[in-house]
Amino acid sequence: MARTEQRILALGGASLQPDSTDGPLHQYLLDLTGEARPRICFIGTAGGDDATERANFYAWFARRAEATHLGLFTRRVDDIRAFLLDQDVVYVGGGNTANMLAVWRAHGVDVALRAAWEAGIILAGPSAGAICWFEGGTTDSFGPGVDALRDGLRFLTGSFCPHYDSESLRRPRYHELVGNGRLPDGFAADDGVGLLFRGTHLAEVVAAMPESRAFRVEKSRAGVEETSLKPRLLRG
């Protein structure tokens, strides 16, 4: 398959459980490939390679794509770079972002993912699977509160805040962290919202449900400026 551009779909939050309303987001992701049955790899490191999370991934994607996964706690893949370069999409699950990045770096997944991105393979994921592509973001990786994570993969500039509407601490804490300079300017997204980046620039905002929003959050003289980004509503 000829690939011509780098693309990342950062999801504010998305579920693969049977009762989820996020199906349109996942179908949108598959449609981006232009393939009838794209190859998609799930990486569940942030969730500790949880078997239920992996089963939910297969239950949704295996009917629509050639689905596989990369496990690192019980590793079965020798050449990770070659394995990821053979995919059309890499989908990263949510969980502990800091732990995920540490494990990735120990196994060379960070380097393999950059090679995949540069080759035009679409990278995507919710929460930890969105924060990781940026310089940093808001995380609960370090305890019950929300703090700054500042050692992301840096494929995209700026920061990212997921779960903007569903976790009460996220919005005020993100404003604080951007306002005091611990996190750079960035983007925030409600659950069920996806931000598509082509290259390193935001190209489109999409949502699975009406009234969901994304935001541009920037440090300003008055403190923090928040600009709403209205998504395109996806059809179910």
Is residue 62 assigned to a domain?
yes
**Mean pLDDT of the 36-60 span:** 98
CA distance 17 to 15: 6
Distances (CA, A) of 88 to 1, 66, 67, 95, 229: 9, 10, 10, 23, 28
CA distances (Å), 10 to each of 120, 140, 161, in order?
16, 18, 10
Decide if 12 is inside a domain. yes
Domain harbouring 20, CATH code: 3.40.50.880
Q: How many CB atoms lie within 10 A of CB 154?
A: 14
Average pLDDT over the chain reads 97
Using CA atoms, how far apart are residues 205 and 57, in angstroms rounded to an integer?
Answer: 23
Q: Single out the catalytic residue among 15, 163, 175, 212.
A: 163
CA distance 83 to 64: 20
Give a yes or no: residue 211 inside a domain: yes
The mean per-residue pLDDT over the stretch 105-131 comes to: 98
Q: What pLDDT does residue 201 have?
A: 97
pLDDT at position 158 is: 98
- Asked whether residue 186 is domain-assigned, the answer is yes
For residue 120, being part of any structural domain is answered with yes
State how far the Cα of 130 lies from the Cα of 132, in Å rounded to an integer: 6
Q: CA–CA separation, 130 vs 10, rounded Å?
A: 4
Q: Give, in degrees to the nearest 5, the angle at Cα 216 between 176 and 181.
A: 35
Question: Three-state SS for 96?
Answer: coil
pLDDT digits (tens, 9 = 90+) for 62-106: 999 999 999 999 999 999 999 999 999 999 999 999 999 999 999
Count structural domains, the chain.
1
> In the chain, what percentage of residues exceed pLDDT 90?
97
Residue 3, pLDDT > 70, answer no
Looking at 127, 141, 159, 212, which residue is catalytic?
127
What is the residue range of 200's domain? 7-233
* 107 annotated active-site: no
How many helices and strands in the chain, by DSSP H and E?
7, 14
Average confidence (pLDDT) over 194-222: 97
- Domain assignment of residue 104, yes or no: yes
pLDDT class for 222, splitting at 50, 70, 90? confident
pLDDT of residue 1: 42
pLDDT at 44 over 60: yes
Is 100 within a domain? yes
Q: Please say if 141 is a catalytic residue.
A: no
Q: pLDDT tens digits for 137-188?
A: 999 999 999 999 999 999 999 999 999 999 999 999 999 999 999 999 999 9
**Is 223 among the domain residues?**
yes
Q: Does pLDDT of 234 surpass 70?
A: yes
